[in-house]
């Protein structure tokens, strides 16, 4: 195991929490380290867009006072957390990246914000998003553009780009992102950190600001999940977030299955490095293949030819339509244009037909996971790319190994997995020749999130751990 950085702001949250519990570190000291990171890195990266220093100081003081009396607020006791600006934080400006919400201050926390607060986190700032969380880049008219921490000329991914950048640079202990088309997995991949998209329905999504009237319903496909500097941190935060929403908590509870195997050499792993329907860059394909080789080296049984019995192009297109049907009307303006064109004007009867088609695809995935425990595949078709604010999903193109491709190809792999409600962990495994991180996603059967996380943890360890862009 690599030694911890000298600055505790860069430690994994699990290490921070252990140090706080042992009183080797105070909440005030950790907050000071985190805010020093914001002062040092945020001017160039523009990840943190709203901060409440009084709230931060009061939260740290309360945590230290409790510690002095042998008390703990929970598993996130004293950890300073930023929160994606698409999530409502009571008493703090929360805009969804939209000018219409520039001065919006919610009275009630989003479900996941309430969960991390109840677990002891000190939520003190907000991170940048694209307008209504509708892009794989992170820029808006309210706060401007967030830059990639590995190279500011490149995008950090979206829509949780500010969140991932903050995690990668120690401006927060952990974060919570949202993911309907890849908005946890892609920023994690592009910023070189870990991210987990939970099984659909596992984490309550009330308080998600995807429109002026957003937050009252839970859109189809959309999930909220953790972004962190280690897989252990993902596991910690998922344990806090998972559970029924407030309206169901009186009768329901959640008990996630343990990983299918105690040892990695017990896992059956399918590897899907690329696909004719959405070819990936050479660096991406090589990274997925390397992940398979690392797992084979650990004794896992690896097969790079097995595929679920689905038409992947048709499934991805169906997923695009379902996502389009799930986004609110306010997201149609200049963002998600292609997505909405695919599904935003559906009659309810047509949506029901699409949902039945999805049910058949989900059954095929379930059958696939009787023969394999996890699937390893690309997160996105290419490494981080230059900022491109012009146009929208319908009109932009993206260059992948010199070939112009539709911009919407960037969500092909994430939507293929997300539309089927499957859990997926994004972790960095390789680098481009320029030193940029390249990630894979480890996908498991529905509600078997812990199997995806277990294999992801083994992959990170086998690859030498997560390297951050700052020291």
Write the DSSP symbol of residue 259.
P
Among 160, 163, 164, 154, residue whose Cα is nearest residue 181: 160
Q: Is 268 helix (H, G, I), strand (E, B) or coil?
A: strand
- Work out whether strand 80-84 and strand 48-51 pair parallel, antiparallel, or are unpaired: unpaired
Are the beta carbons of 27 and 20 closer than 8 angstroms? yes
Active-site choice (133, 159, 160, 426): 159
Are the beta carbons of 320 and 411 closer than 8 angstroms? yes
The secondary element (H helix, E strand) that includes residue 342 is helix 337-343
* C-alpha dihedral (27, 461, 371, 321), degrees to nearest 10: 60
Active-site choice (84, 126, 199, 426): 84
* Interatomic CA distance for residues 91 and 217, integer angstroms: 21
* C-alpha dihedral (346, 350, 351, 353), degrees to nearest 10: -160
89: Cα separation from own chain's centroid? 19
Q: Output the CA–CA distances (angstroms, integers) from residue 381 to 44, 186, 305, 306, 434, in the order listed.
A: 27, 10, 19, 20, 17
Matching residue, tokens 């919006």: 104
The secondary element (H helix, E strand) that includes residue 404 is strand 403-406
- Beta strands (DSSP E) in 110-211 are 122-127, 139-140, 144-145, 175-179, 194-197
The secondary element (H helix, E strand) that includes residue 375 is strand 374-378
* Interatomic CA distance for residues 346 and 359, integer angstroms: 18
Write the DSSP symbol of residue 386.
B
Are the beta carbons of 423 and 447 closer than 8 angstroms? yes
Active-site choice (173, 183, 281, 424): 183
Is 330 among the catalytic positions?
no
199: Cα separation from own chain's centroid? 12
Write the DSSP symbol of residue 243.
S
Q: What angle do CA 226, 145, 288 make, to 5 degrees?
A: 50
Is 126 among the catalytic positions?
no
Catalytic residue numbers read 84, 159, 183
């Amino acid at each position: 195991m690599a030694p911890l950085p000298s600055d505790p702001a860069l430690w994994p949250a699990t290490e921070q929490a252990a140090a706080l519990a042992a009183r080797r570190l105070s909440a005030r000291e950790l907050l000071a380290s985190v805010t020093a990171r914001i002062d040092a890195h945020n001017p160039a990266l523009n990840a943190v867009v709203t901060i409440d220093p009084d709230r931060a100081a009061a939260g740290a003081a309360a945590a230290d006072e409790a510690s002095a009396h042998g008390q703990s607020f929970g598993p996130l006791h004293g950890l300073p957390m930023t929160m994606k600006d698409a999530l409502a934080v009571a008493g703090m400006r929360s805009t969804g990246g939209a000018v219409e919400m520039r001065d919006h201050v919610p009275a009630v926390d989003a479900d996941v914000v309430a969960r991390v607060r109840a677990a002891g986190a000190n939520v003190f700032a907000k991170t940048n998003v694209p307008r209504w969380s509708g892009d794989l880049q992170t820029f808006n008219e309210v706060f401007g553009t967030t830059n990639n921490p590995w190279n500011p000329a490149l995008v950090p991914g979206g829509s949780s780009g500010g969140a991932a950048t903050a995690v990668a640079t120690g401006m927060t202990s952990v974060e919570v992102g949202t993911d309907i088309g890849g908005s946890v997995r892609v920023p994690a991949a592009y910023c070189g950190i870990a991210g987990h998209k939970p099984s659909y329905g596992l984490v309550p999504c009330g308080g998600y600001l995807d429109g002026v009237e957003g937050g009252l319903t839970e859109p189809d496909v959309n999930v909220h999940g953790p972004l962190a500097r280690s897989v252990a941190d993902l596991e910690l935060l998922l344990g806090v977030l998972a559970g029924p929403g407030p309206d169901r908590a009186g009768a329901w509870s959640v008990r996630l299955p343990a990983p299918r195997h105690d040892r990695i050499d017990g896992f059956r792993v399918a590897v899907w490095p690329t696909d004719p329907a959405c070819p990936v860059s050479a660096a991406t394909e090589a990274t997925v293949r390397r992940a398979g080789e690392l797992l084979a080296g650990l004794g896992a049984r690896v097969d790079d030819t097995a595929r679920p019995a689905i038409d992947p192009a048709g499934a991805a297109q169906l997923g695009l339509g379902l996502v389009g049907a799930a986004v609110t009307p306010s997201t149609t303006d200049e963002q998600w244009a292609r997505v909405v064109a695919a599904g935003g004007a559906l009659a309810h009867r047509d949506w029901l037909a699409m949902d039945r088609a999805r049910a058949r695809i989900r059954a095929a995935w379930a059958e696939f996971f009787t023969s394999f425990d996890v699937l390893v595949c690309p997160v996105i078709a290419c490494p981080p790319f230059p900022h491109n604010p012009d146009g929208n999903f319908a009109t932009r193109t993206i260059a992948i190994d010199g070939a112009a491709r539709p911009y919407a190809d960037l969500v092909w792999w994430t939507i293929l997995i997300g539309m089927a409600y499957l859990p997926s962990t994004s972790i960095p495994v390789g680098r481009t020749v320029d030193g940029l991180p390249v990630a894979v996603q480890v996908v498991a059967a529905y509600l078997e999130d812990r199997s995806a996380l277990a294999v992801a943890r083994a992959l990170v360890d086998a690859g030498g751990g997560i390297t951050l862009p700052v020291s």
